[in-house]
């Protein structure tokens, strides 16, 4: 039964990712904003909802290791696994694709997340501050998009009506959340049956499982030639994971960071964030970079398993 749940979850994620990308591209065309902005606001935040639900459920049940490990592990997986797979499928030209505001937001969020882990707790006050920063970031991002609509997606087909594009995006998000829930539930049951610690579950199975919507949406975007939207999805998801998910979770259930979070986990969290910032200012992200990131992630998983 658990295996069947995993397969159903995977199929829902793949279908949801395809529908979500179609809706996102349609929104970008109809709203006259860049694919990167839609990737950040619609895809990045929408596909992060499984992390939100999972972290809230874990914190509410006293499983702080899963809650904090989910955020750290998801951000690591978004960059070293999901972005790596996307550029292995199709190299991306990132120069100018992601607005400078998003680069600053990514750097600030990553630094704040690491600082809170080092402090050993994420209080309600810290959660509130993270949400205020998220609101300011969204306000500025949408305002900038309206003032400078920029380029349109490179599609020759007539875009769908706005209501249909929005419906596709929302439907894709719903399918990916449902699929992720089935897949993560089955994976966590298996891991706990093997006696694995909560932090390791959060950093690996839960983090990768809840990141599967990002994986589905990003890979589908890469396959469809929407590399810039894929980059926007990664950036938006990582910003939202820290400012939104960690903020909301701490506001509802203040988090004591478990001692099991190792220096290696935190170093890779910061290193992956810095790696993404450096890649975004390069003229091209090729398959060599993708292979290197994927190798680093597999090495990290191997280290956790020992």
Domain ranges of the chain: 36-148+195-305
pTM: 0.78
Count of beta carbons in the 10 Å neighbourhood of residue 136: 12
* Separation of alpha carbons 46 and 69, rounded Å: 20
What number is the average pLDDT over the span 56-64?
77
In degrees and rounded to multiples of 5, residue 46 shows phi and psi of -60, -45
User: Predicted confidence band at 236 (pLDDT cuts at 50, 70, 90)?
Assistant: confident
DSSP for 253-296? S-EEPPTT--HHHHHHHHHHHHHHHHHHTSS-B-HHHHHHHHHH
Q: Taking 80 as the threshold, does the pLDDT of residue 304 lie above it?
A: yes
Lowest mean pLDDT among 10-14, 31-35, 242-246: 31-35
- Under the banding of pLDDT at 50, 70 and 90, the label for residue 131 is very high
Convert the pLDDT of each residue in 144-181 to its tens digit: 655 554 444 444 446 678 778 888 878 887 887 787 67
Distance, CA of 132 to CA of 130 (rounded, Å): 5
Residue with tokens 């959660």: 127
What does the CA dihedral 82, 84, 89, 91 come to, rounded to 10 degrees?
130
Above 90 in pLDDT, residue 293? yes
Per-residue pLDDT at 166? 83
| CA 140 – CA 128 distance, rounded (Å) | 19
Please report the pLDDT score of residue 246 as a whole number.
92
Mean pLDDT, range 258-269, rounded to an integer: 82
CATH number assigned to the domain covering 36-148+195-305: 1.20.1420.30
Q: What are the backbone dihedrals phi and psi of residue 81, each rounded to the nearest 5 degrees, phi first?
A: -110, -55
Task: With cut-offs at 50, 70 and 90, classify the pLDDT of residue 39.
Answer: low
- The pLDDT assigned to 47 comes to 65
pLDDT at 145: 58
What is the per-residue pLDDT for 110? 94
Q: What is the pLDDT of residue 187?
A: 67
Name the token pair of 213: 């919507």
Average pLDDT, the chain: 79
pLDDT at 52: 76
């Amino acid at each position: 039964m658990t295996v069947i749940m995993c397969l159903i979850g995977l199929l829902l994620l793949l279908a949801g990712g395809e529908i979500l990308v179609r809706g996102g591209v349609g929104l970008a065309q109809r709203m006259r904003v860049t694919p990167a902005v839609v990737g950040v606001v619609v895809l990045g935040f929408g596909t992060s909802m499984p992390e939100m639900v999972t972290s809230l459920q874990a914190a509410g049940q006293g499983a702080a290791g899963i809650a904090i490990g989910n955020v750290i592990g998801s951000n690591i997986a978004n960059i070293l696994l999901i972005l790596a797979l996307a550029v292995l499928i199709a190299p991306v030209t990132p120069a100018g694709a992601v607005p400078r505001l998003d680069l600053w937001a990514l750097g600030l969020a990553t630094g704040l997340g690491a600082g809170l882990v080092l402090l050993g707790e994420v209080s309600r006050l810290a959660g509130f501050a993270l949400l205020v920063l998220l609101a300011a970031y969204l306000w500025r991002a949408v305002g900038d998009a309206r003032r400078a609509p920029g380029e349109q997606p490179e599609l020759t087909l007539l875009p769908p009506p706005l209501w249909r594009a929005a419906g596709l995006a929302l439907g894709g998000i719903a399918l990916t959340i449902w699929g992720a829930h089935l897949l993560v539930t089955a994976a966590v049951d298996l891991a706990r049956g093997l006696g694995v610690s909560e932090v390791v579950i959060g950093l690996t199975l839960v983090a990768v499982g809840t990141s599967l919507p990002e994986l589905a949406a990003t890979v589908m975007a890469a396959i469809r030639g929407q590399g810039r939207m894929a980059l926007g999805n990664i950036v938006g998801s990582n910003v939202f994971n820290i400012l939104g998910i960690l903020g909301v979770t701490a506001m509802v259930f203040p988090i004591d960071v478990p001692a099991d979070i190792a220096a290696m986990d935190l170093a890779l969290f910061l290193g992956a964030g810095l790696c993404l910032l450096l890649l975004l200012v390069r003229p091209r992200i090729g398959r060599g970079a993708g292979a290197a990131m994927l190798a680093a992630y597999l090495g990290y998983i191997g280290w956790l398993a020992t």
